[in-house]
Amino acid sequence: MTSYLFLPILLIDILCLVLKKYFNSSLIDRFISIYILLIFFLVVSIIATDIGFYLEFNSRINYIIFEYLDESLLMLKSVIFQFPYNLIFCSVIILFYFLKNQTKTLRLSMIYTTHNISAVKSLSTNLLLFIMLSVFIRGGFQDKPLHWSHANISNKPFYNQLTMNPVWTLGFTYFKSRNDNLIEKFKDINLINSIKIARDVIDTENSKFYDDRKPLLRTTDYGEIINKYNIVLIILEGFASQYVGAFGSDYNVTPEFDKLSKNGVLFSRMFSAGTRTNRGVAASVLSFPPIPKYNSIQKDNFSTNEFSSLANILKQRNYKNKFFSGSSLNYHNRYNFMSSNGFDNFWGQSNAPDTAFRTMWGVSDKLLLDTLLNSIKQETSPFFYTALTISNHPPYNVPKNNLIDYSNIKIKSNRLKAFKYSDWAIANFIDKCDEAGITKNTIFVIVGDHGFPNLKKEYKHFDLTKYHVPLLILSPNLGPGTNNKIASQTDIVPTILSLLGGKFLHHSWGKNLFSKNKSNNFAIMVPAGSNNLMAMIDEKNLLVHDFINGSISYSIKWKKPMISLSIDTLKYDTNKFNFLFAYMKASTNCLLNNQCGISYEN
């Protein structure tokens, strides 16, 4: 990629050689000196930022950084926190000073450094440099230019990431995102068949479908009993299953969640829609699947689309809807997106007292959940409240709390300390709700937004632990137990509807997790910051499709503890991949044509 940046210098040299008498040597030298300094600053800045970016996103620097431009200062602070930049900063200053002095003494324009050389030799030198740069740009003499698919050289993702050029990766993903053609991805898939397949596998018991333009728009009858339960959905930042004791983890950071899980239904095989919070929130609240595209639907031109959100659905039963966030409501267009999808009232970090404990990302989970509790106590109508926590997020700073014992954490780190703090905060909230009698008439849904990379084993194509999150439902009409059904965050909405009972008109892309239908045991995942990967997991297989490198299947053997997976390469399963493509074709077509929801009258 850097070779592209040096092409203008070479073209100027050639131009100067041909039209020598028309150019001022001092101006040309000055221009080239400044240009080289700018290139140096740009390249070194990208490489330096790439280190912290990888530690934060587990990926080389890519398009994600442009998606967060309106929160650039916040993102910069977060990335800098992940890596000690003091030494790098000093080194860059020294190198910059050295290079600046060198550009003053060197005659950088080839035509002037070689003014005593014949024009033929000068032209030959420039042409040789042009050929060399062309080879560097292509990445060699092979048939096709270098592509990031060439980085798959190992079964260790870290090694594959290491081979990538951060400047090239940033540039490539940016220009690809400008032409993120969703239609092209599924152009060979028949839409009518896709709709039929999607309907067959989604929860069709007691459901009536309506319009092929809105393929999963349906009325579902969940029974005659209508429960006016309140709904509290809590989306926990970074609450990954691999740290949860109830799933066999020995990190000792979730003692309170482990106790809570014995009072409700714990879903052991829940998988997040993506690897970033925005996809987890959208899937949990809208019941719309992740799409293999660079941008999040919360920020791009689809953010104003109509969706069948749980807030909109419950308004038909006169529920009041409110969204709480420990971070800024303006972050990632959250306020505008949620307000257009049924939420009428909001609380964010800007509403917190000036004296409140804060990190660069927001306020503590305790303050957020205490505020949520106080708001619940004032409600007289049925309500649907959603809360998004932030404490378990870099920089992992939490307020001092003498009620939490951090001494027995297996590995001493700020991340695990923040994890345990978040664990305590959620249990403290539930205990207070219980004391106030709120739990008698309220369904609590607690889910992680996304996981983290596997701490013990790396997978070449797809790391399931990045998506494996806990889901716990505490409900007055549910006894305790463990549900081993393959679950997705898109399943949360129809599952809540089933607990409320009665008939609902909705356009959910998930399934009722309490359904006895075994044919719809699946979850679909798409990593953030990429438009070339999607995956589906079912009881026996993990299917990974790469739009660049093709498809691969794995057989899965579930072991105890539940987070331990044995993955072996399997033969390509045409039927299962056909379903994955059909489901994604139908949902993508809905998104492109703004047919994801239904208009609800207030």
Residues 428-459: tens digit of each pLDDT: 999 999 999 999 999 999 999 999 887 565 55
Mean pLDDT of the chain: 82
pLDDT over 70 (residue 514): yes
Q: Which of 15-24, 171-180, 466-475 has the lowest mean pLDDT?
A: 15-24
pLDDT over 80 (residue 159): no
pLDDT over 50 (residue 112): no
Q: In Å, how far from its chain's centre is CA 549?
A: 22
| Secondary structure of residue 380 in the 3-state scheme | coil
Q: Which of 24-28, 101-105, 281-285, 430-434 has the lowest mean pLDDT?
A: 101-105
Q: What is the pLDDT of residue 54?
A: 77
Q: In Å, how far from its chain's centre is CA 282?
A: 10
Cβ distance 231 to 383 under 8 Å?
A: yes
Rounding to the nearest 10 degrees, give the CA dihedral for residues 565, 567, 573, 575: 10
In whole angstroms, give the CA distance from residue 86 to residue 538.
Answer: 46
pLDDT band at residue 109 under the 50/70/90 scheme: very low
Element (H, E) at 428: helix 414-435
pLDDT over 60 (residue 7): yes
Q: What is the pLDDT of residue 269?
A: 93
Q: What whole-number percentage of the chain has pLDDT above 70?
A: 73
**C-alpha distance across the termini of the chain, in Å:** 53
**Position 338: which residue type?**
M
**Position 415: which residue type?**
R
CATH 3.40.720.10 for domain 191-592, yes or no, is yes
Which among 10-19, 119-128, 273-282 has the top mean pLDDT?
Answer: 273-282
Q: What whole-number percentage of the chain has pLDDT above 90?
A: 47
Residues 538-582: tens digit of each pLDDT: 988 889 888 877 888 888 877 765 545 556 666 667 888 899 999
Mean pLDDT score, 458-487: 88
Q: List the beta bridge partners of residue 321.
A: 384
Residues 211-253: tens digit of each pLDDT: 888 999 999 999 878 889 999 999 999 999 999 999 989 999 9
In whole angstroms, give the CA distance from residue 552 to residue 219.
Answer: 36
Q: What is the pLDDT of residue 224?
A: 79
Q: What is the pLDDT of residue 243?
A: 94
pLDDT over 90 (residue 52): no
Q: What is the pLDDT of residue 225?
A: 84
In whole angstroms, give the CA distance from residue 586 to residue 189.
Answer: 9
Interhelix angle 191-201/574-592, nearest 10 degrees: 110
The larger pLDDT score, comparing residue 75 to residue 107, is at: 75
pLDDT over 90 (residue 18): no
Q: What is the pLDDT of residue 84?
A: 58
| Secondary structure of residue 255 in the 3-state scheme | helix
Residues 319-361: tens digit of each pLDDT: 999 999 999 998 888 999 999 999 999 999 999 999 999 998 9
Going along 222-304, which residue ranges are E strands?
Answer: 230-236, 265-271
In whole angstroms, give the CA distance from residue 428 to residue 117.
Answer: 80
For the chain, the domains span 2-178, 191-592
pLDDT over 70 (residue 22): no
Q: What is the pLDDT of residue 130?
A: 66
Residues 182-203: tens digit of each pLDDT: 778 888 889 999 999 999 888 6
Q: Which residues, including other chains, have CB under 8 Å from residue 72's CB and lie 6 or more apart?
A: none
In whole angstroms, give the CA distance from residue 343 to residue 421.
Answer: 28
pLDDT over 90 (residue 463): no
Mean pLDDT score, 158-175: 76
Give CA angle at 138 (133, 140), nearest 5°.
90
Mean pLDDT score, 70-84: 61
